[in-house]
């Protein structure tokens, strides 16, 4: 199994719209992120948008997507701070449907939207950023995130990875969703397996046992390209559910991070995390106790992350 350096990472400003990275506060935020939690790795997430889960065309040139020049500048700034950088171009639906539900008929039907058209647009989207990743010296390109209903289309995903490799010569990964690690049949064509680690506080050992069987079989490095828990009461039991409502619970978030790190520390095949998330527009630290979201800044969970990363980095 190939070795990769341990990833003490964070997902920074996911899906930031155009202009976000042009602001000085964005640079100050990523600098603080590195300093406060001892990060050595960052994932940047340019978004592509399609109208609905059945739309065939993906747009990445609107104001919903950070401009190429500002993304390049942020990559270079992150690298100047000593951060290793990954790009993870990710598709979202304008109507709010989660991208995992993007889906079409398995056989083309006249007058119906088609996988063939969607994958052609998806490959164009991925290759655009793969070329940028190559030109800017990124360490990794992650070929999508949580595209659950599409993952059965093995031939198209293999072709997508192949096209990405024409543009990018670094490490290629794909971020499957929680509970799906064993369902991807084409792990052999990527360099690094990654998934979203949103598992209940008391279920980490069980889920790690399941994922370990996949990693041992495929013999590829693994890391959690996402992992996080909201600082909201109840989130530690269903950390994948961003719709949970309740009182702010800073302790629950901290407890969740402590449990995840404890469980993963005993698994030598877990090569790190890119935690969700760290915003480009930080709130005043005095307001951290009012933030019921996935953010880490100035919360007790941030200290737990910093301590763990200082040991592992």
Question: Looking at residue 313, what is its pLDDT?
Answer: 84
> Whole-angstrom Cα distance, residue 275 to residue 294?
9
Helices (H), 64-203: 68-80, 115-136, 154-167
Average pLDDT of the segment spanning 162-166: 98
Average pLDDT of the segment spanning 276-305: 97
Average pLDDT of the segment spanning 233-240: 98
Average pLDDT of the segment spanning 221-239: 98
Three-state secondary-structure class, residue 180: coil
Element (DSSP H or E) covering residue 28: helix 24-37
Structure tokens at 133: 């990743």
| Mean pLDDT rounded to a whole number for the chain | 97
Question: Looking at residue 9, what is its pLDDT?
Answer: 98
Q: Which CATH number fits domain 7-228+272-282: 3.40.50.1100, 3.20.20.80, 3.90.1300.10, 3.90.230.10?
A: 3.20.20.80
Other CB atoms within 10 Å distance of the CB of residue 5: 13
Residue 153 has pLDDT above 90, yes or no: yes
DSSP letter at 282 equals: P
The domain segmentation of the chain, as residue ranges, is: 7-228+272-282
DSSP letter at 82 equals: T
Residue 54 has pLDDT above 90, yes or no: yes
pTM score, whole prediction: 0.97
Average pLDDT of the segment spanning 39-61: 98
pLDDT band at 188 (very low <50, low <70, confident <90, very high): very high
Residue 78 has pLDDT above 90, yes or no: yes
> Whole-angstrom Cα distance, residue 280 to residue 248?
22
pLDDT band at 2 (very low <50, low <70, confident <90, very high): confident
pLDDT band at 284 (very low <50, low <70, confident <90, very high): very high
Residue 182 has pLDDT above 90, yes or no: yes
Question: Looking at residue 1, what is its pLDDT?
Answer: 75
As a whole number of Å, the CA-based R_g of the chain is 19
């Amino acid at each position: 199994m190939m070795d990769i350096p341990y990833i003490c990472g964070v997902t920074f400003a996911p899906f930031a719209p155009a202009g976000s990275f042009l602001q000085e506060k964005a640079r100050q935020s990523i600098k603080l992120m590195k300093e406060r939690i001892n990060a050595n790795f960052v994932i940047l997430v340019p978004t592509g948008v399609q109208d609905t889960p059945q739309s065939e065309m993906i747009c990445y040139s609107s104001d919903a997507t950070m401009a190429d020049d500002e993304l390049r500048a942020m990559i270079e700034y992150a690298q100047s701070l000593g951060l290793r950088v990954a790009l993870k171009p990710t598709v979202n639906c304008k109507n709010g449907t989660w991208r995992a539900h993007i889906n079409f008929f398995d056989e083309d039907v006249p007058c119906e939207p088609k996988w063939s058209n969607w994958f052609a647009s998806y490959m164009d989207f991925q290759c655009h950023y793969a070329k940028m990743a190559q030109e800017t010296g990124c360490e990794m390109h992650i070929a999508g995130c949580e595209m659950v209903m599409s993952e059965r289309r093995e031939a198209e995903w293999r072709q997508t990875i192949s096209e990405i490799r024409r543009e990018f010569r670094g490490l290629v990964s794909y971020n499957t969703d929680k509970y799906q690690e064993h369902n991807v049949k084409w792990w052999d064509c990527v360099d690094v397996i990654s998934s979203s680690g949103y598992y209940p506080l008391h279920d980490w050992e069980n889920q790690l046992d399941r994922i370990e069987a996949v990693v041992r079989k495929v013999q590829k490095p693994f890391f959690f390209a996402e992992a996080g828990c909201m600082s909201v009461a109840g989130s530690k039991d269903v950390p994948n559910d961003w719709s949970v409502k309740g009182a702010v619970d800073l302790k629950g978030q901290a407890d969740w991070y402590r449990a995840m790190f404890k469980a993963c520390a005993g698994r030598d095949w877990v090569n790190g995390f890119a935690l969700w998330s760290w915003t480009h527009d930080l709130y005043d630290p005095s307001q951290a106790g009012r933030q019921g979201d996935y953010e880490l800044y100035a919360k007790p969970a941030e200290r737990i992350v910093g301590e763990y990363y200082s040991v592992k980095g």
